[in-house]
Structure 1
């Protein structure tokens, strides 16, 4: 398989991530009240419990786990664990809100070539690691193809608010 800037599958963007939940209700509350996602229509033909959420150009599909007791236990917050990351406008605001909500987090700072990137890591109700960062401080520099610098994707505004939607949003599972 070739590396570099080719696109053999002609991909356009990340559509959604699916997350198994111990409690669909707890996860719905977390992704709406903490991370600002809003529910969207989910096909009624599915024969399992779940919910679809959307914001920031990303879909999150919550799936009720058939055997919640078999999901991995929530462990300590480890920034090196698998995680999803969200860009924010103000790390100070995020940290203040997490404290107000009583959400435990780990704070780190990365320094690269005089650029500081702040990161906050915490868990969702099922132990999935969430990172909030100001990572758009770092340029995206491809390892091949010369010295071209790509601006961070987060500098493209794709934040959709629920009241702006005129028609149903359809995301294929």
Structure 2
């Protein structure tokens, strides 16, 4: 395989990708993780193929799935470390940072708060762990414009109208999923 960018011409969408479908997370306890992703982040359970021969659960919201997989060796999973915003993490945008911060405090979830300034625009971030130590970020990152680098005009962004329409469609799914 050749990944040498100097020898290849850049294609807009070489694999014809449409979106991120899901994030898969290995967990110590599927039940504790379901509780966290439902009650803290607002995901809801969806049907998972019955042909799987391992414990897990599927959740969905905000146009993305979370696939929880029961660890085959929970005692040897990485230990939960201190909250470090530079660790790998999943980021979710929110409508109100103040509400999120208040709810995290009310739920007694430890978090780290950060603020980034770029050209007079402030991005607020809250970082915390799920029950297995996977890092979660909640932010108002949508205030920061997506600006293509010089010569890279192929970046497409989601307009507020388009994003809001997609979110409305996703919010209608839970009632349609009830069997």
Instruction: State TM-score, norm by structure 1.
Output: 0.88
SS in 2 for 1:118: strand
Partner residue in 1 for 2:44: 38
Partner residue in 2 for 1:49: 55
Q: Alignment length, in residue pairs?
A: 168
Displacement of 1:12 in angstroms is 0.3
Displacement of 1:53 in angstroms is 0.2
Question: Could you tell me how far apart the structure 1 residues matched to 2:154 and 2:120 are?
Answer: 20
Partner residue in 2 for 1:29: 35
Structure 1 residues 106 and 24, CA gap change in structure 2 (3 angstroms):
same
SS in 1 for 2:95: coil
| 1:5-32 superposed Cα distances (whole Å, 9 cap, x missing partner) | 6111000000000000001000000000
Higher percent of residues as helix: 2
Structure 1 residues 149 and 113, CA gap change in structure 2 (3 angstroms):
farther
Q: Does 1:138 align with 2:139?
A: no
Displacement of 1:150 in angstroms is 5.4
Greater RCO structure (CA 8 Å; 6+ sep): 1
The structure with the larger Rg is 2
106, 118, 123: which is aligned to 1:117? 123
- 5+ residue gaps, structure 2: none
Question: Could you tell me how far apart the structure 2 residues matched to 1:148 and 1:45 are?
Answer: 40
Task: Please list, as runs of the form range in 1=range in 2, the aligned pairs for 1:1-173 lying within 5 A after superposition.
Answer: 1=3, 2=5, 6-145=12-151, 151=157, 156-157=163-164, 158-159=166-167, 160-161=170-171, 164-167=174-177
SS in 1 for 2:98: helix
Instruction: State TM-score, norm by structure 2.
Output: 0.85
- 5+ residue gaps, structure 1: 169-173
CA RMSD of aligned residues (A): 2.2
Question: Could you tell me how far apart the structure 1 residues matched to 2:73 and 2:159 are?
Answer: 37
| 1:97-140 superposed Cα distances (whole Å, 9 cap, x missing partner) | 00000000000000000000000000000000000000001111
